[in-house]
Amino acid sequence: MDKIKQIAKMIDHSILHPTFDDEKLVKECKVAADYDVASVCVKPYAVKKAKTLLEGTDVKIGCVIGFPHGNSSIDVKVFETEVAIRDGAEEIDMVINIGKALQKDWDYIEEELSAVVAVTKRSGAILKVIFENDYMPDESYIIRLCELCTNTGCDYVKTSSGFGFVKQESGVYNYKGATIEHLRLMRKHAGPEVKVKAAGGVRDLDYFLKVMETGTSRVGATATIAILEAAKKRFG
């Protein structure tokens, strides 16, 4: 596989902003098809339409669950996952219950993961678990989440939703997203069969290449065109 195709097949093209309408979905699915990325990541109601738009391509359909804040009950996340898969999703990106993680209610997190994993395994779908690292007080929380995802059979651990805004030193609300340090930490503490997905803040080729060096397998991106056009210039 050449370098450009390798990069493209690491990208989950994100179509998740709350203001995106069906016209935007059509446009962005065309981008995903034209650049032959790994997948699109869409909102639950958009799965059916995305499946139709990408029929005949090699682009997989991904869907977010409990997005973006992870507050749905376990039963609702299970149902949402079942519906997304029924509608055509092959990959599921689920946000954990962040509050439960912050209070170290690891039994709840394990129950939640196990319940959704049961659905994805039964259906042959892939589960990516979003931690929202910006909310985690220190590395120990991320390490524990990696261990729980490994133990319950999740397919990926994922840094961020891209919507987990926290107050920065400047006073502005933003997020750090996928930091190199966190990606290395997750790769180290997730089991060898669990892959890592970076999301949030990967907006140019140089940073994308740094992410690749950490052993990350997928990257959620909205800057797909910019990244791949730069890759064509550098590696074409």
Active site residues: 93, 158, 197
φ, ψ of residue 165 to 5 degrees: the values are: -80, 135
Q: How far apart are the C-alpha atoms of 112 and 114, rounded to whole Å? A: 6
- Three-state SS for 129? strand
Report the interhelical angle of 106-123 vs 74-87 (nearest 10°).
20
CA distances from 60 to 19, 53, 202, 216 (A): 23, 11, 20, 18
Nearest Cα residue to 90 out of 171, 5, 174, 155? 155
- Three-state SS for 83? helix
Please say whether the beta carbons of 81 and 51 come within 8 A. Answer: no
For the four alpha carbons of 157, 79, 104 and 201, in that order, the dihedral sign comes to positive
φ, ψ of residue 148 to 5 degrees: the values are: -65, -40
